[in-house]
Amino acid sequence: MKTSEFKNSKGVTVVVNKELNKLRGREFFPEKLKKVNEILAKSGLPKLDR
C-alpha cells in the first residue's frame, strides 16, 4: 500500500518488528506451558458456532 492509502484506510495498521523472528520457536515459560497443555487436554477448547 502507498502512504496515502494507509492514511485513508479505516482499518488498523500493524507493523511487526523483524527482530521478533529471532524469538520464534523458543519456550519462555515451559512450566506454565506444560500446565496449560494438561488443562486443555482434560477440558478441551470451547466449540464456536459460526
Q: How open is the CA angle 10-19-29, to the nearest 5 degrees?
A: 100
Q: What is the mean pLDDT of each run of 10 residues along the chain (50 residues)?
A: 68 85 89 91 80
Please report the pLDDT score of residue 34 as a whole number.
Answer: 93
pLDDT confidence of residue 32:
93
Q: What pLDDT, on a 0 to 100 scale, did the predictor assign at position 6?
A: 66
Q: Is residue 38, in this structure, part of any structural domain at all?
A: yes
50 occurs within a structural domain: no
The whole-number pLDDT of residue 10 equals 74
pLDDT at 3: 65
pLDDT at 31: 95
In a domain, 48, yes or no: no
Residue 49 placed within a domain:
no
Supply the range of the domain harboring residue 9: 3-43
